[in-house]
Amino acid sequence: MSIQGLDMKFKDYDALLNECVNQKSLRGGQRVQAHMIKTHYHPPVYLRTRLIVLYLKCEVLSDARMVFDEMRERNVVSWTAMISGYTKSGFYSEALSLFVQMLRSGTPGVTGTYPNEFTFATVLTSCTGAHVFEYGRQIHSLIVKSPFELHIYVGSSLLDLYAKAGNIHQARIIFDGLPERDVVSCTAMISGYAQLGFDNEALELFCTLQREGMASNYVTYASIVTAISGLAAFEYGKQVHGHVLRSELSFFIVLQNSLIDMYSKCGNLTYGRRVFEKMPERTVISWNAMLAGYSKHGIGKTVVDLYNRMREENKIKPDSATLLTVLSGCSHGAMENIGLKIFDETMAEKNGVDLSVEHYGCVVDLLGRAGQLERALRFIKEMPFEPNAAIWGSLLGACRVHKNVEVGKIAGDRLLEIEPENAGNYVILCNLYASEGKWDEVRKMRELMKEKTVLKEPGKSWIEFGRTVHTFYASDRLHPRKEEIFSKVRELSDRIKAAGYSPDLSSVLYDVDEEQKEKLLLGHSEKLALAFGMMNVSEAKPIRIMKNLRICVDCHNFAKFVSKVYGREVFIRDKSRFHHIVNGMCLCGDYW
């Protein structure tokens, strides 16, 4: 196409620019712009905006911005296009600052440019991306006064904003208030539930909407698979996977990634690996999800093998999450030296990944697990980050296992400064002091604990059986089969006591007599779930239990004895990893 020497007018430029946009031709746009300058043509707002849109489509933000800045006058589309350009590239604060300028713009004495439904939809996304939720709420109040409150695009990003801010209730109110629903608004609601851990609600909404004939796409499925991962609802997950395979959606990498994660979190690494191996194309997330599965199961060797394969294939570059997973996999898998070596190698690499305080935390884990507590302490003092609660907690945990009161006291004091409200910290310190017979210190800790701690999240465990997820709370008085389950726990306890089990009363926080302590221990939700599993799950199958917190020492021991005495295989997924318990032993090596 040649435009030299022609007498170009609005209509011609418009046609040319349209063609460039369709072909995504950056060079074409630049030639049109050059021609305008050469022939002293002053394009109107419309044509300048078309140029901005073209440059944004070609992902050259700076060129778009240049055209934008040269405009003496702009309309809502020029503003919105520019804001959207910044939002899509993740420059949220630029986008928000433009939005403010937009409201203030206009000739003196005249009000600014008024945002429309396109502007609101995109600017809310910026607020969510930038995590400036208070700002988003202010924009919400502008929207309420505008005619666009019930617009489906605006409503979707608005409910997403509240969901991401953690206010799922408000998100649901907005969702229910929308006059119509479509895939995106429904998916935003479902993923909002899933990301905040309201997995049952996510599943319930998904089922309801499906009955209502809602269309689903791969984003919807990725979100629902995430909810299934949280519940570890293996049977349901397989069903959804089958559905995906029969649809046209199975080629989406994002969806395959979430399936890998789902199977791993259900404790079925074989299925996850099968999805992983069949992928024609992988992203770094595919690798990270697969690695995380083996890491959480404590299978360190496979973590390292897979990581080496990733580096050998040299197609996908490991990122900081990869390294974090590999280091934590080495720690869970008792491969301390290899983990430390990988850390050192990464440090030495020129353009390796960005190391965060969490990576350093993994190294503390590795050193602590290896029993090198003084070295871990030195490492913490020399690292380029301010140590946080996770770092000190990791060191303290290691000190408890290796019974090192000296270093443990240092870690504990720092930890209580940062996190005085966390009861778990006092418990570990109590255990440490008790193991050395320092009863004065134990008493001091108990008093401090009573004074400072706040109620933590209540413990709960669940197990999937007969297409239903059965949930148990500590000393569950509401469960319909409570009598039966409690007596089964008693029965298990009596039988394993004969084989050498003795309840670990020291892990009970409350100041009550020993009999009470044992009763409290027997009421732990994971024991109830285990008893339920023993009553219902066929003997040929492993019992798979999920727990929202970390498993306690006594329940861990209890499960080990049950596995030996009754010859059962037990998986317990807790907050930090999988415990795979067979014949009286756990793959975690009693370190978690």
Return the residue of 25, 167, 325, 493 that touches DNA, per CB under 7 A. 325
Residue 151, CA distances (Å) to 156, 416, 568 in order? 8, 49, 56
Report how far residue 564's alpha carbon sits from residue 571's, in angstroms, rounded to the nearest whole number.
14
Q: Considering only residues 217-236, where is the footprint of DNA by CB under 7 A?
A: 217-220, 222-223, 226, 229
Calculated CA dihedral for residues 375, 549, 295, 346, nearest 10 degrees: -40
Binding segment (CB under 7 A) for DNA, from list 99-107, 254-262, 345-353, 493-501: 254-262
CB of 191 to DNA, least distance (A): 4
Return the residue of 32, 81, 102, 520 that touches DNA, per CB under 7 A. 81
Please identify, using beta-carbon distances, which residue of 128 and 557 lies nearer to DNA.
Answer: 128
Please identify, using beta-carbon distances, which residue of 84 and 422 lies nearer to DNA.
Answer: 84
Q: Considering only residues 111-170, where is the footprint of DNA by CB under 7 A?
A: 116-119, 121-122, 124-125, 128, 151-153, 155-157, 160, 164
Report how far residue 533's alpha carbon sits from residue 571's, in angstroms, rounded to the nearest whole number.
11
CB of 502 to DNA, least distance (A): 31
Give yes or no for a contact between 3 and 16, defined as CB atoms under 8 angstroms apart: yes
Q: Considering only residues 508-527, where is the footprint of DNA by CB under 7 A?
A: none
Return the residue of 358, 436, 518, 569 that touches DNA, per CB under 7 A. 358
Please identify, using beta-carbon distances, which residue of 283 and 372 lies nearer to DNA.
Answer: 283
Q: Considering only residues 382-401, where is the footprint of DNA by CB under 7 A?
A: 390
Please identify, using beta-carbon distances, which residue of 288 and 422 lies nearer to DNA.
Answer: 288
CB of 38 to DNA, least distance (A): 23
Residue 574, CA distances (Å) to 170, 189, 197, 550 in order? 30, 27, 15, 5
Residue 257, CA distances (Å) to 187, 200, 215, 307, 578 in order? 18, 21, 21, 17, 20
Report how far residue 554's alpha carbon sits from residue 542's, in angstroms, rounded to the nearest whole number.
21
Please identify, using beta-carbon distances, which residue of 307 and 558 lies nearer to DNA.
Answer: 307
Give yes or no for a contact between 524 and 555, defined as CB atoms under 8 angstroms apart: yes
Return the residue of 60, 61, 196, 253 that touches DNA, per CB under 7 A. 253
Please identify, using beta-carbon distances, which residue of 223 and 425 lies nearer to DNA.
Answer: 223
Report how far residue 507's alpha carbon sits from residue 37's, in angstroms, rounded to the nearest whole number.
79
422 interacts with DNA by CB under 7 A: no
Helix ranges (H only) for 266-404 are: 269-278, 284-296, 300-313, 320-332, 336-348, 357-369, 373-382, 389-401
Q: Considering only residues 436-465, where is the footprint of DNA by CB under 7 A?
A: none
Q: Considering only residues 558-577, where is the footprint of DNA by CB under 7 A?
A: 576
Binding segment (CB under 7 A) for DNA, from list 58-66, 257-265, 445-453, 491-499: 257-265
SS (H, E, C) 448-481: HHHHHCCCCCCCEEEEEECCEEEEEECCCCCCCC
Binding string, residues 32-61; x marks residues near DNA by CB under 7 A: -------------xx--xx--x--------
Rg (alpha carbons) of the chain, rounded to whole number: 29
Report how far residue 150's alpha carbon sits from residue 548's, in angstroms, rounded to the nearest whole number.
37
Q: Considering only residues 278-307, where is the footprint of DNA by CB under 7 A?
A: 283-285, 288-289, 292, 295-296
Give yes or no for a contact between 10 and 45, defined as CB atoms under 8 angstroms apart: no
Torsional sign, CA 184, 185, 186, 191: positive
By CB under 7 A, the count of residues binding DNA is 72
Residue 452, C-beta contacts closer than 8 angstroms, at least 6 positions apart:
420, 421
Q: Considering only residues 59-78, where is the footprint of DNA by CB under 7 A?
A: 75-78
Please identify, using beta-carbon distances, which residue of 222 and 521 lies nearer to DNA.
Answer: 222
Report how far residue 355's alpha carbon sits from residue 361's, in angstroms, rounded to the nearest whole number.
11
Q: Which two tokens stand for residue 456?
A: 């933590």
Binding segment (CB under 7 A) for DNA, from list 100-108, 252-260, 405-413, 419-427: 252-260
Binding string, residues 171-190; x marks residues near DNA by CB under 7 A: -----------xxxx-xx--
CB of 445 to DNA, least distance (A): 25
SS (H, E, C) 439-453: HHHHHHHHHHHHHHC
CB of 136 to DNA, least distance (A): 11
